Amino acid sequence: MKNFAYSRPADLTAATEAASADGTRIIAGGTTMVDLLKIGVLNPEALVDISGITDLRGYDVSSDRMRFGALSMMSTVGDDPDVIAAFPALSESLWKAASPQLRNAATLGGNILQHTRCPYYRDTAYAQCNKRSPGSGCAALEGGETTLHAILGGSSSCVAKYPGDFAQVLVAFDAEVTTQGPGGTRTIAFAQLHRLPGDTPHIETVLEPGEIVTAIELPMIPAMTNSTYLKARDRESYAFASASAAVGVEMDGDTVRDVRIGLGGVASVPWRATAAEDSLKGKPLTEEAAREAGRIAFQDAEPLEGSAYKIKLGADVVAGALLQVKTRMGAE
Ligand code: SF4
């Protein structure tokens, strides 16, 4: 590991100033960052540790807008009975994301900004990786193994998938993040936070140098109560998603009034399946409608040979999540 400077500012103003310097990275829980430092994927000149900024801790789910400080722990939020009751999908996405040890160390802010698990990105023996080394090529697209890669949102430069779980819930339920940077504070729609890879896959978000995510907010809506997060993976105990779906439903009598569908494990960024949502609105939530929504969610997929299996798997996960919610609601 390369030597780096380390600082632990006590407030946001000092942290944004320190984090604005070239070659600087921000660290909080460190569950991803330390790995990437040790294997030489990231080699910063300096680390700014924001874990001591107490203003970023704490959360509130009691009003008409949920608010989570960026340093709220995954375990604390995921285990909270009020969160479980108000928004099962959010709790389940945190539970299914990582082991208890990791959930006890990882923060919500760090979780949404985690790096891809593309094996070529994480193995510096492969020189070709446009995300790690811009302009070097893509080992996955140049004859590599692609079973773990995206089938939605990829480009000719990079087909890495976004690896998280929590983010699928946030994108489906219109979350926003608040930030503070050298230019002041701003609010960003969660759906706009992550950038599609295009020809610059090394630029993963719209955050500016020194800009720190301070909180995540969600409007409380009825579909949160009837929600779930379904995750298909190679093994049940803490693997990354092959395909996942965050789903929430609000019924109006026998028909769907509102439905939210976020896709994970299949796309370059947290992905909202709006066409699939639209296919369900105003109709009964039957098994046939759920399976059709799953099909529509992947109608624009562009798989590679190794990732083609995700079209059927993803469609089945979407339908399964919708039917799981229907069962929980006790709907006919
Ligand atoms: Fe790198 Fe993206 Fe290609 Fe993976 S898919 S090797 S992260 S450029």
- Please compute the mean of the pLDDT values over residues 296-321 and round it to a whole number: 97
CA proximity to 248, closest of 59, 86, 66, 61? 86
Question: Containing H/E element for 297?
Answer: helix 287-297
pLDDT over 90 (residue 97): no
Structure-derived torsion over alpha carbons of residues 272, 211, 215, 15, reported in degrees to the nearest 10: 150
pLDDT-derived band at 251, boundaries 50, 70, 90: very high
Q: In the chain, pLDDT over 70 holds for what percent of residues?
A: 99
Return the structure tokens found at 199: 């020809």
What span, in angstroms and rounded, lies between the C-alpha atoms of 306 and 200?
Answer: 23
Pocket lined around ligand 1, Cβ cut-off 6 Å: 116, 118, 120-121, 129-131, 138-141, 158-160, 201
Q: What is the CA radius of gyration of the chain?
A: 20
Query: Which residues lie closer than 8 Å to 258 by C-beta, 6 or more apart?
Result: 221, 222, 223, 248, 249, 250, 281
pLDDT over 80 (residue 11): yes
- Please compute the mean of the pLDDT values over residues 190-207 and round it to a whole number: 98
DSSP state letters, 187-227 = EEEHHHHBPP-TT-TT--BSPPTT-EEEEEEEE--GGGTSE
Burial of 120 (0-12, 13-18, 19+ CB in 10 A): buried
Residue 248's φ and ψ, nearest 5 degrees, are -140, 145
Alpha carbon of 22 to ligand 1 centroid (Å): 24
Distances (CA, A) of 98 to 16, 240, 299: 29, 9, 30
- Report the SS3 class of residue 114: coil
Strand order in the sheet with 271-272: 227-232, 243-252, 255-264, 271-272
State the chain's mean pLDDT as an integer.
94
Alpha carbon of 158 to ligand 1 centroid (Å): 5
What pLDDT was estimated at residue 263?
98
Q: What is the reported pTM? A: 0.95
What pLDDT was estimated at residue 331?
59
Return the structure tokens found at 307: 């990732």
Substitution candidate for ligand 1 out of 114, 117, 120, 269 with most atoms within 8 A of CB: 120
Alpha carbon of 76 to ligand 1 centroid (Å): 33
pLDDT-derived band at 117, boundaries 50, 70, 90: confident
Range scoring the smallest mean pLDDT among 1-15, 234-248, 316-330: 234-248
pLDDT over 70 (residue 332): no
What structural domains does the chain harbor? 5-52 (3.30.43.10), 223-329 (3.30.390.50)
- Report the SS3 class of residue 105: helix
Q: At what angle do helices 287-297 and 309-329 cross, to 10 degrees?
A: 140
pLDDT over 90 (residue 330): no
